[in-house]
Structure 1
Amino acid sequence: MKRLWIALVILGVILGLTLLHTRTLQSFTDGLAGQLEQAQELAREDAWPKAAELTRSALERWRSQDVRLHVLLRHADTDSIYAGFQEVLALLDSREYGEYAAANARLICQLELLSEAEQLTLKNIL
């Protein structure tokens, strides 16, 4: 009976940590997506330097969590998002709004999908 309780406690701890991970990841990616949306609005208003600064700030936030993200998530996903940031920054420098807006929308979508993939849902379990 003691083994059963130990196993249940371990499972409870794992479940709790999983829920904590999904909540913090969603908060993190939502914040980054918000910054990228603000940057796109600035670019639309021809405030390109401010948009680039905000996007670089979002990239720095992403880099600040690099180790944790690489440990907990698929490397292909994190690498793809990093590449998306690089593409968006390059397009900000070129000041081509159409291409920038499309790349920025892809990056935001990747962030949302990353968060969604980590959620504890029946779709993700099965």
Structure 2
Amino acid sequence: MKRLWIAAAILAALFCATLLNSWYLRGFTRELTGLLEQAEALAEAGDWERADLLTRSAFEHWSSRDGYLHVTLRHSDTDLIHVGFQEVLEFIECQEGGEYSAANARLAAQIQLIYESEQLTLKNVF
């Protein structure tokens, strides 16, 4: 009977950790996509310098959580987002409006998909 309670406690701890990770990723991804949306608006207004600063701020925020993200997410997903940031920053540097907008939208969608893939839903369970 003791082993049953230990197993149940471990399962409950894992379930709580899963919920906590999902909650954290929701806030984290919303913050990043918000910064990227603000950068997009600034770039459309022609303020490439501030768009660059906001995008770099989002990238630094992403990079500061690199260890956590590599432990909790698939490496291919985190690598894809890292490459996406590099692409977006390059388009900002070249001030390529159309290419930047497409790359920025793709990056924001990839970040949002990370949260959606970690949600506890029937679609993700089965």
TM-score (norm 2): 0.98
One-letter amino acid of the counterpart of residue 59, structure 2: L
Aligned residues: 126
Partner of 2:47: 47
1:84 is aligned to 2:84:
yes
Unpaired segments ≥5 residues, structure 2: none
**Aligned counterparts of 1:120 and 1:92: Cα–Cα separation in 2:** 36
Partner of 2:101: 101
Partner of 1:116: 116
- Identity among equivalent positions (%) equals 56
**Aligned counterparts of 2:48 and 2:38: Cα–Cα separation in 1:** 12
Partner of 2:15: 15
Partner of 2:59: 59
Partner of 1:73: 73
One-letter amino acid of the counterpart of residue 11, structure 2: L
Name the SS for the 2:46 alignment partner. Answer: coil
Partner of 2:34: 34
**Aligned counterparts of 1:57 and 1:43: Cα–Cα separation in 2:** 15
**Aligned counterparts of 1:39 and 1:115: Cα–Cα separation in 2:** 21
One-letter amino acid of the counterpart of residue 19, structure 2: L
**Aligned counterparts of 2:124 and 2:118: Cα–Cα separation in 1:** 8
The Cα shift of 1:5 comes to 1.3
Unpaired segments ≥5 residues, structure 1: none
**Aligned counterparts of 1:64 and 1:119: Cα–Cα separation in 2:** 22
One-letter amino acid of the counterpart of residue 74, structure 2: R
One-letter amino acid of the counterpart of residue 31, structure 1: E
**Aligned counterparts of 1:48 and 1:29: Cα–Cα separation in 2:** 23
Q: Deviations over 1:24-50 (max 9, x none)?
A: 011101100000000000001100000
The Cα shift of 1:113 comes to 0.6
**Aligned counterparts of 2:96 and 2:80: Cα–Cα separation in 1:** 22
